[in-house]
Structure 1
């Protein structure tokens, strides 16, 4: 038995490594693909790191002040000082009540919302300051652009906060209460959005791009007919796809070092916990990504179909069903069920724990286990598909 194992294992490894070396040699000869290995993750990191902002700033706020008093101007200045709003004025052509055809124009305030000139409108009524000084209730009108519902809710909440702060500072509302709230940001004390977004983007990059290259490799084999050579050789389906998978697993390791180094040197994202769960989880995740791409490649007869498959089943699901932008509890049923079978969802938890929370194994053991089990399922599905292709009924 020992002699048999001693003979089989080196021979098995030799065939797997020869297939891996063949893939790496083809990739090395393709200069354009080598450049894409680094350009695509670089562009993705820069876009997600700099372009995506979850905090609303510079919201165009149109103010119509009918009071023109010290208090009303002070109230408006609070909005400017918050840096959440940018005070704008109506264009000059709104001063005319009729257009060039002689038709009466509609309300200029509503028209500014329709034309996307303003996202919010603040209307301060006459006698604003007199009512406040007399401790009377005064109504301030706020009109919001509800096209983006989440943004409108955030703007409304910010306006309420600024209004309360204004009343406290002018002495019209008591600042003391029975409950004093002291809050502190934990894990991400600087409140940097990139520190929340980019650890999740690591999962998106390391899932999509290794899968894309491995899917293209398998589709190219089918498209050019060279996959028959592997079937005619003394190589099983397992040896064939493990050789390819190992090659793109190594590509994924290089991309991992690249994107995490970029996150450290450009965005200052550092490890805060035990790196071992992240290291083990990344290795499991990269092998699953490579096998996932091979699985999609076996279903695609052309490279165009392979790219479309990775985009649809890899990128879109990873972007919107994994908690990358919003909590998973916001994903409606039955789409929430799909997130349970996506390895990216679990890797994002591992990555954010390593770079933000630092809980270690106690916080991410289940995520690593789930990625391992899903990797086995992908392995079995790929083996079944390739076995049928090699030995059709």
Structure 2
């Protein structure tokens, strides 16, 4: 790793070594299976990554495709149907794909984040309610049969003789989402299928209880293993939790420490991979909510000024991002054209001939995964902004 001794200690008297932004990027790319693809089984990889953000039904499949060798969409979908993978609100109160084991371990740890979001967004609509009784009623309904939020809210609001009778159905449904760990059930999320956003409880779906004594220490260590080196603020950004400084301080004797280029203190697992800053980083195609770009407070190890200049949030949905040399360098999308499928890459600037060749190969590989049924595949690199639709 590109590090050097630091002669001037930080305010916390950190005696660690300085690490460059480029080296930080290489370290995290290695943890995220984006320097070289892995042949790990899907379940093992998902646990290593501490899940994938998955609020869209299917784009997260592409996040596994870019990281793993030899997988097919059906192989992943089968794990959802078999209840070995689930989609549930977790970190930052967003839907994540995790293993059944991680679902039961992680949900209790991030429960404060989810309840905080409920109070902030719907607290006014729930004033005066016995939320314990409301949660019990909602759990009974979704465990009787999986329900969509609209159906669940309507049934709760229509109950007679209870404190929430006649309340806003959407707020009631959101309360159950927060107070009861709800998983989205197949066929929702199954590749090539569609279905209503129907939920039941994690306990009913998985046949077991949430962890009684989950370890926040283990959660922080796993974050560092998947995203480190990182600051305390980074861990808090990823999880949505606050006051993690005391957790990291407790773990400090077990951690390696560094300083970034601005002098911020970074923590890491001592034996985690930290490649040299000049280690090759092949071009990669990230999906729209890839955790690589969402899991640090300071995202400059990957995100460039050119990315910010696109102002994505102002004029459309999240993009699928192209990484070149470990940095955001463009975006991409897949479209159907008759019986064929086209993967179009839009660079922010100029690509070298070697990058064009590598991205063409990467695009062809992605199409083989995402559009195996198409009569023809085509990869195009087209400068300029996407036309407005």
TM-score, normalized by length of structure 1? 0.22
Larger C-alpha radius of gyration, 1 or 2?
1
